[in-house]
Amino acid sequence: MVSTSTIVVPWDDLPDGIPPVLHEVPQLGDVDPAEVSTVNAPVMVRLDRSGGLHLTSGRDGIVHCATDGTITGSTPLPAGHLADYAVNASLVVLLAEQQLRAMDHTGRPLWTIPSSFAGVLLGEHLFAPQRNVPVVHEIDVRSGATVRTLNRRPDAGRLFLVAGHLCAVYSDLDAGVRGIEVISADGAVVSTAYSTGQHFSWLVHPIGFDEQLSVYLWRDGNIARITLAGHIEELGKIQTAHAPPPPNQWQVTPEGRIVTALSTETGVTILTSG
């Protein structure tokens, strides 16, 4: 794929950059100490609805950047493991330490609720899929109260929010098919199955959906787009640091551009492709 823009956000203390986190690789197995190296840990990236970037290494805070990479501010993070987060123009929502927390961009707490959620999605509305239960909760952004609970397929995977729709890839292994689940704003669930071997092999590592509800997928360093009608378009190779790349390092814009965060020696390189 052709990279249309490259932005570098430096490693630094807040608010001048992203505080780095170092880890050793490889991390598993019986490894000769001489083969272990220390590198900068991966950084998570989120986009807001206006295209702003929100980056964190999970340490100290979330760095907010304009579309050109200029740092516009930061939000301090509470102690503990950060599982997921979402940001809009006025709100930061964190999923951490079995709690869902909302705060403003300065870090001022707004509300906290106990969490058994698997993620958090923020657009015009706030959604949180339940862990190990096939439902997703719509949550009032002002109070943290549950507005409604929507059912989803038990075989569906990671949930994405685009154009007011909740979308996911599902795997019906008994039937030998994979497909797309779309939950519309009224809560209706529509499942579209694809039965060819090519669809089955591609629909494993989704990285996002565009506003046409086409799904973008990674396989062996390549990216493909599959439309709701089932057309597969292979888009080419993309640079990643891991195989498969962690889902927190990807975002797909509503227009179908792919944003990737790569940790380097000097900082976080944000590649926009497509």
Count of domains observed in the chain:
2
pLDDT band at 59 (very low <50, low <70, confident <90, very high): confident
Q: What is the pLDDT of residues 193-209, one digit of tens each?
A: 998 999 999 999 999 99
Q: Is residue 249 part of a domain?
A: no
What mean pLDDT do residues 148-169 have? 97
What mean pLDDT do residues 94-98 have? 93
Q: Is residue 5 part of a domain?
A: no
Which of 131, 151, 171 marks a domain boundary?
151
Q: Is residue 82 part of a domain?
A: yes
Weakest-pLDDT range from 31-35, 107-111, 238-242, 249-253 = 31-35
Query: Distance between CA 43 and CA 268 in Å, rounded?
Result: 7
For the domain that residue 82 is a member of, what is the CATH number?
A: 2.40.10.480
Q: What mean pLDDT is reported for the chain?
A: 91
Whether 132 and 198 share a structural domain: no
Query: Distance between CA 15 and CA 76 in Å, rounded?
Result: 10
Q: Check: CB of residue 260 under 8 Å from CB of residue 270.
A: yes
Q: What is the pLDDT of residues 209-244, one digit of tens each?
A: 999 999 999 999 899 999 999 999 999 988 776 667
Q: Is residue 70 part of a domain?
A: no
Report the candidate in 87, 29, 96 with the shortest Cα–Cα distance to residue 62.
87
Is residue 29 scored above 60 in pLDDT? no
* Boundaries of domain holding 183: 155-237
Whether 83 and 130 share a structural domain: yes
Which of 151, 177, 205 marks a domain boundary?
151
Whether 189 and 218 share a structural domain: yes
